Structure 1
């Protein structure tokens, strides 16, 4: 065996041992998932560790035992860290109906249906929600018993991922479409529906990245600091409640119809950079100041709403309710 092939050989030996241990039920699937999950979540750091190991092997290339020690230490550290810092997904339940012949999860009428919910930790105060889906209709409302819960119908999606920062103080949640391989499956390119409920006692930053969008987002009972929508053509209806002392909204869309409803006494500041999009105000007295439309009561209002709209074409209406 050549000296420079020792490291590669150890890698294959390690993989083989893991597979055999799994087949003999010495290792369970959760252990394997935790190891590979840690690697993919910390890919930059893992690559850096590999480069360090390779560098040590180059420096001490005359000593074969150094290769053995460094690669064994590398795998040992990865395993140890994956168990010390697992992916936190407390209270996450994915509830599905029976599996169909093609491997998708379907309900009785043949529609893909996925339920999920995540329990709220007592000390969770802030939430960051990142949704990346294709052509989907989204309805958003509030809940007081879970951190987040919802139902996705008609499309497949990857299991929600949650990480915590600062203990459990801040929760980061990602809901994504299937990977590229699955997206190329024609069966996955279809319209879907997402009913989503967010905890009303958590302060949220929300990013929505969608394809064809038809969304009704009701924040009347929610606390939202920032809301970003990136989508193609479609309809976007946003209802802002009085719980929003200050909220920043950014809409990046194609040819769309955007309706935003705000409390009648709130202060509104709107920037519209769409070349072919129109802007209208209903029940709000706004004056144009440079690139912005500003309501007359903006400086004195208790609730301030900043809106930045970037659309290719369409209509934007700001309505007092």
Structure 2
């Protein structure tokens, strides 16, 4: 197995093609804990394209610039105001773009082992960086690493700005534009008319929060392979699977998933006839901090709002606000800034 060294060829900042029309977006209560999590890292491995590498790098830079016009928060920076609220300032500060080489690696060197090769860490920038660093660091970085017979495109994105679903929304938009699309298939939605901004603040120690999960813990990363036929079979099963209910009635998966989604919003230990003095808890399973498509108002409100009332004798409250309109009781609310729920 070759050594894992990667050589830096060039580094620059890519700016959005057009200026952002969004000034700032405040991080929601449920986005704030992600400040103590590391940046998200995801990438794709390609065989070497027929295009000369210099032409390809130039094309990717231009496509990234266009994609950032649709996703201006990724080209911004964090800023904490005097009241302690953290905002994404959409100031077009840009993202890092890195061109690197590891031409001693073949694609088979990376895919043949059972375990993930440690060289993959060098295919990403900001490895181990906490999302809180977005106050001074770019919120996204793209690294193109040349291999002997292929290309690895790695993208690192701040976890307080996006999650896995919205990451791939951005990445797929980037790919669409690179392939020549004049109009993207799905635009992100930054409309916050349905979201009740909370005045709560997450207090962090001087210098930023601590890492939520220790990066020094032993972790074995494995490679799982799914060929095209296996994916098609799984897709067919997901789209066509049926299941019998307890009374023998046949239900399709759409009905089952719809019922599960609906039931997830029912109160837990709340107004359920139980005289135990506990207050209602509503836990939403589909909340995400995504940048993505619009939702209808009813679905949007169900998906985006997560409320719970805490007992007067409850434990530590990290997020808390006064709401004298609910019988003078304390009430905490969580909403997301950048939103999507899978349809």
The normalised TM-score by structure 1 is 0.23
Larger radius of gyration: 1
Q: TM-score, normalised by structure 2?
A: 0.22
User: RCO greater where, 1 or 2, for CA within 8 Å and sep 6 or more?
Assistant: 2
